[in-house]
Structure 1
Amino acid sequence: MVRKIVTAGLLAGMFTLAACNTVAGAGKDVSSVGHATTKAADQSK
């Protein structure tokens, strides 16, 4: 029983870490698009 609980906890932790990395990567991508848009808008003035 304890082994099942530990296994479930480890799996949940792995999925949580994977999700955090994915969200962080997506945030960086959105940020870079925002910076590029701002740069393009400033150049077109």
Structure 2
Amino acid sequence: MLANLDVLKKTLTLGAVAACLMLGACNTVEGFGQDMQKAGDNISDEARENK
């Protein structure tokens, strides 16, 4: 019984850590996407100015 409880605790801890990492990654990817969009907008603006 005690061994099952230890496995459950480890599984829940691992799941919580994985969830935190995934949520952190979402924010990072969203920020990266916004940076890429801004860079693309700047390139488009320069291309329009230099036609």
Q: TM-score, normalised by structure 1?
A: 0.88
Structure 2 unaligned residues grouped into runs of 5+:
1-6
Structure whose CA Rg is larger: 2
User: Residue 2 of structure 1 aligns with which residue?
Assistant: 8
How many pairs are equivalent? Answer: 45
2: CA distance between counterparts of 1:5 and 1:36? 47
Identical residues among aligned pairs (%): 36
Q: TM-score, normalised by structure 2?
A: 0.80
Shift >4 Å, 4+ stretches:
none
Structure 1 unaligned residues grouped into runs of 5+:
none
Q: How does 1:1-45 map to 2 (within 5 A)?
A: 1-45=7-51
Partner deviation per Cα, 1:1-45 (whole Å, 9 max, x = no partner): 211111110000000111111111111101100000001110112
